Amino acid sequence: MNSYRSLNSIKDAIKAKKTTCLGLTKYYLENIEELRTLNAFVEVFKEEAIARAKIIDNKIAEGKAGKLAGMVIGIKDNICYKNHKVGAASKMLDGFESLYNATVVERLLAEDAIIIGRLNCDEFAMGSANENSYYGPTKNPIDESKVSGGSSGGAATAVAANLCLAALGSDTGGSIRQPASFCGTVGLKPTYARVSRFGLIAFASSFDQIGPITNTVEDAATILEVIAGQDDYDSTISTRKVEQYTKLLDDKKPKRIAYFPECFESDGLDSEVKSAILKQIQTLKSKGHIVERVSFPYLDYLVPTYYVLTTAEASSNLARFDGVHYGYRSKKADNPETTYLKTRTEGFGKEVQRRIMLGTFVLSAGYHDAYYTKAQKMRRLIQDKTKEILNEFDFILTPTTPHTAFELGLEVKNPVAMYLEDIFTVLANLSGNPAISLPLTEHSNGMPFGTQLMAKPFYESELLAFSHNLMNSL
């Protein structure tokens, strides 16, 4: 049973009567129970998933099932599911129940996916190791002494450990791709505005995107097809038509690929990661693709620009957690001021507090121009340069992460080291481009790491087709 690593293999097995949605759901539930120590799920919707599996089995029998029938999926704990708890892994929202469905959830349900539970993550999606969760860290399924990555650590671990077939995560600066790299799964961050964020608990609104974590590129394409596209509830969404990504996976034309020499000179890049990616570049050339060095002069500015802008946006987005509107309220609060002060002091974890303070500082009257405005100008330069490169090339190729998953506890006390984990992933969020992490390599230390590809905005079909090709050939 555990050989089903893609929706197509599941659909074939269902057709051949080798399995059922009910059988699959029970299988995943047993796995979740057995691998509790991974701490991937914050909550499992056991009874409900079983009941839904029975309904979908009936629909399959009647020939009325949706596109995702057979897919058992987990959702990150910052995506709203009506009448279910959602907490962004924060004490601030512990026990909070959503009154409505995120658009992505509506669309998954409409196509008969089975949502099996909510997945652990860093508090309010802030982190690179899943160690900032109120519910404790998610462990890496390949080596439990290591981090799963973050912030969608629960999502990547659950997919890698076969606790569900696929998961939805969110990516503000790498939170889908980085844990995917650390756990050996596929992670796709779609173009900014491709997928509705209605019902996603906001971190940094000009960066946030929802996307899939899967075993195969094909499953990522299937999920994107379902969740992408216009939505009346999200004013930032694009009205562009959603392509049939799964039907376009066969493109085998030679491509033009850029890589940044600066990436390979960056401090902290593991020598084996470096040599593996350089080797992949050689292989791509030998297969007829044009792969060229292109200087990217802003590499050192990416992480600072990202952290100034995202903390500014977070300080504003998280102002709504005031002890009155949602979730937690301090028991020591006795007037409006202490309600606000004590609730936020007790309800937010250290990293979230650090970011709110940093964001408030960079937006404050005396420093706004020196930090926030400057970072916005830098973002424009980064966007323009990325656009210029992708006018000439189809893809930009980099490692997803500078190294493989590190030991639990190693970086949690060193925020700057943690921020530097994001060096290769934040570019796609600063520029809004789609990017994917592919599990193409295993390090001699036994851990996987990802290759990242970035494409032009709304070129997901090319990105997915090339990735599909690469996964099957390298």
Token pair, residue 326, equals: 């949602």
Residue 446 near residue 458, CB atoms below 8 Å: no
> Using CA atoms, how far apart are residues 219 and 243, in angstroms rounded to an integer?
15
Q: How far is the CB of 208 from ligand GLN (least distance, A)?
A: 7
Contact between 190 and ligand GLN per CB under 6 A? no
**Interface segment toward ligand GLN; rule CB under 6 A; list 84-92, 97-105, 124-132, 153-161:** 124-132
- The interface region with ligand GLN, picked from 164-172, 224-232, 295-303, 338-346 by CB under 6 A, is 164-172
Q: Which of 6, 175, 238, 315 is catalytic?
A: 175
Cβ neighbours, 10 Å, residue 420: 16
Q: Judged by CB under 6 A, which of 175, 191, 222, 317 binds ligand GLN?
A: 175
Least spacing, CB of residue 209 vs ligand GLN, in Å: 9
In the bound state with ligand GLN, the residue whose beta carbon lies nearer, of 29 and 352, is 352
Rounded to a whole number of angstroms, the minimum distance from the CB of residue 207 to ligand GLN is 8
Strand partners, 169: 211
Q: DSSP alpha helices (H): ranges in 173-260?
A: 177-183, 217-227
Tell the residue number behind the tokens 């998954």, with chain if given: 108
Please list, in sequence order, all residues whose beta carbon lies within 8 angstroms of the beta carbon of residue 216, skipping any fewer than 6 positions away.
5, 6, 186, 471
CB closer to ligand GLN out of 124 and 393? 124
Task: Indicate the length of the chain as a whole number.
Answer: 474
Name which of 25 and 133 has its Cβ closer to ligand GLN.
133
195 binds ligand GLN (CB under 6 A): no
Binding of ligand GLN at residue 125 (CB under 6 A)?
yes
Residue 449 sits in the site that holds ligand GLN (CB under 6 A)? no
Q: Closest distance between ligand GLN and the C-beta of residue 429, in Å?
A: 7
Question: What would the two tokens of residue 156 be?
Answer: 């990547």
Q: Are 77 and 119 in contact (CB under 8 A)?
A: yes
With contacts defined by CB under 6 A, name the span among 103-111, 168-176, 255-263, 368-376 that binds ligand GLN: 168-176
Q: Is 174 in the site for ligand GLN (CB under 6 A)?
A: yes
Q: How far is the CB of 275 from ligand GLN (least distance, A)?
A: 25
Which one of 6, 67, 76, 437 is the catalytic residue?
Answer: 76
Q: Cβ 433 to ligand GLN, closest distance in Å?
A: 15
Tell me, yes or no, if 151 is annotated catalytic.
Answer: yes
Asked whether the bond before 151 is cis by omega within 30 degrees of 0, the reply is: yes
Binding of ligand GLN by 211 (CB under 6 A): no
Exactly one of 151, 152, 315, 431 is catalytic; which is it?
A: 151
Question: What does the DSSP assignment read for 32-96?
Answer: HHHTGGG--EEEE-HHHHHHHHHHHHHHHHTT---TTTT-EEEEETTB--TTSB--TT-GGGTT-
Q: Which two tokens stand for residue 309?
A: 């802008």
Cα 22 to Cα 88: distance, rounded to the nearest angstrom: 29
Alpha carbons 64 and 82: distance in angstroms, whole number: 24
Q: How far is the CB of 124 from ligand GLN (least distance, A)?
A: 8
Residues 6+ apart with CB under 8 A from 300: none
> Is the separation of the CB atoms in 316 and 308 below 8 Å?
no
Q: How far is the CB of 205 from ligand GLN (least distance, A)?
A: 12
Binding residues among 299-318 for ligand GLN as defined by CB under 6 A: 310
Give which of 474, 470, 447, 401 is closest to 183, Cα–Cα: 447
253 is catalytic: no
Instruction: Indicate the residue among 171 and 231 with the shorter CB distance to ligand GLN.
Output: 171
Site for ligand GLN in 141-160 (CB under 6 A): 150-151
**CB-based contact 403:420 (threshold 8 Å):** no
Asked about 76 being catalytic, the answer comes back as: yes
Stretch that binds ligand GLN, among 155-163, 172-180, 296-304, 320-328 (CB under 6 A): 172-180
Q: Which one among 35, 44, 105, 126 touches ligand GLN, defined by CB under 6 A?
A: 126
Is the dihedral angle over the CA atoms 17, 19, 20, 22 positive or is it negative? positive
Binding-site ranges for ligand GLN (CB under 6 A): 125-128, 150-151, 170-175, 203, 310, 422
Q: Which residues are known to be catalytic?
A: 76, 151, 175
